[in-house]
Amino acid sequence: MKRTIISGAAIAILMTGAASVNAAIDNTTTLPNAKPGECYAKVVIPAQYRSETTELVVKQAAEKIEVIPAKYEWTTERVLVKEASKNITPVAATYGTETQTVETSPATRAYSVAAKRNSAPASPSNIAAAKAAGIKVSVMVINGMGGKRYSKQHAINSAKLVNATQPEYLATLVLFDHEGKGKIEQGFDNDFTHLNTAELCEEMRSFIQHTELDKSIFRSDHVSNHLILKGVLGKDKDNMLEDIDDAIAHFKAHPEIQHRPSSF
């Protein structure tokens, strides 16, 4: 902002005002401190003025906060109010009656050989001949048949037999002397000792360990067996050996569980 000093007519007004002020101050006809021989005149010396232009701050710089009102408008929007779901509606089964004939077991040919005195023992050649004739072969191994003296030999030789013949079915029973121990001892020159429960499992382990079978269905689930084993040899061989090891440790820890060769 620029300020201009007032001049002209305003000066006269100021001068008149000044004279009035002076008159009010000194309204006498004498001069103060007058000296003899000097002449005095009372005059009014008007004030001196000049015009100047200058800038003045009439308002400090500042920041203005302007509030912009919110804007609203009407829109239509689809919102999810419930997730998609499925309803399960029970539908009652419909039953009817019909008669059909089903095959429970395929037709097979099998030979039964009586285990009589002086009968020919099983041999790889006899079993191979049966298989060549289209007969499915099932081999039964008697666990404990060699007694303590021939236990290991019995297990290994039995494994060699089944390895050579690859029977479709293989199973084990445990030796019992229903007609008395004397009849068995005669075949061993009266030098025969039955295996206990842990020893029977050890002989079974030796037998399974030495087998090299492809797909023989194996069962050891007769009532005479103390350890039930089921599977296919050889894909289940390792699992069976683990089960046998567990059984051996169990029966050794519980010697009161003993095999009774005279009865089941």
Confidence (pLDDT) at 20: 43
Residue 196 reports pLDDT greater than 80: yes
State the pLDDT at residue 181.
66
Cβ-count burial 23-40 (b if 16+ within 10 Å, e if not)? eeeeeeeeeeeeeeeeee
User: 4 with 55: CB under 8 angstroms?
Assistant: no
Above pLDDT 90, what percent of the chain?
A: 32
Q: What angle do CA 255, 147, 161 make, to 5 degrees?
A: 120
pLDDT of residue 94: 85
For residues 215 and 232, what is the distance between their CA atoms, to the nearest angstrom?
A: 6
Distance CA 233, CA 244 (A): 15
pLDDT at 175 over 80: yes
3 state SS of 233: strand
Q: Does the structure show a pLDDT above 70 at 180?
A: no
**How far is the CA of 63 from the CAs of 14, 60, 66, in angstroms?**
43, 10, 9
Report the C-alpha gap between 46 and 18 in whole angstroms: 8
Higher pLDDT, 188 or 146: 146
Q: How confident is the model at residue 112 (pLDDT cuts 50, 70, 90)?
A: very low
Contact between 223 and 264 (Cβ < 8 Å): yes
| pLDDT tens string 58-97 | 888 888 888 899 888 888 888 888 888 888 888 888 888 8
Q: Which of 21-25, 70-74, 156-160, 224-228 has the highest mean pLDDT?
A: 156-160
Q: Which residues of 156-181 are buried (b: 16+ CB within 10 A; e: fewer)?
A: eebbebbeebbbeebbbbbbbeeeee
Residue 157 exposure: Cα atoms within 13 Å on the Cβ side: 11
Average the pLDDT over 112-137 and give the result. 72
Q: Among 168, 175, 170, which residue's Cα sits nearest to residue 147?
A: 175
What mean pLDDT is predicted for residues 217-228?
A: 89
Residue 158 clears pLDDT 60, i.e. is over it: yes
Determine the pLDDT at residue 189: 80
- At 246 the pLDDT is 94
d(CA 195, CA 150): 11
Q: What is the pLDDT of residue 155?
A: 95
Asked whether residue 27 carries a pLDDT value surpassing 90, the answer given is no
- Provide the residue ranges of all domains of the chain, joining segments of one domain with +: 2-55, 124-253
* pLDDT band at 120; cut points 50, 70, 90: low
Residue 175 CA to residue 157 CA, distance in Å, equals 17
Alpha carbons 203 and 222: distance in angstroms, whole number? 17
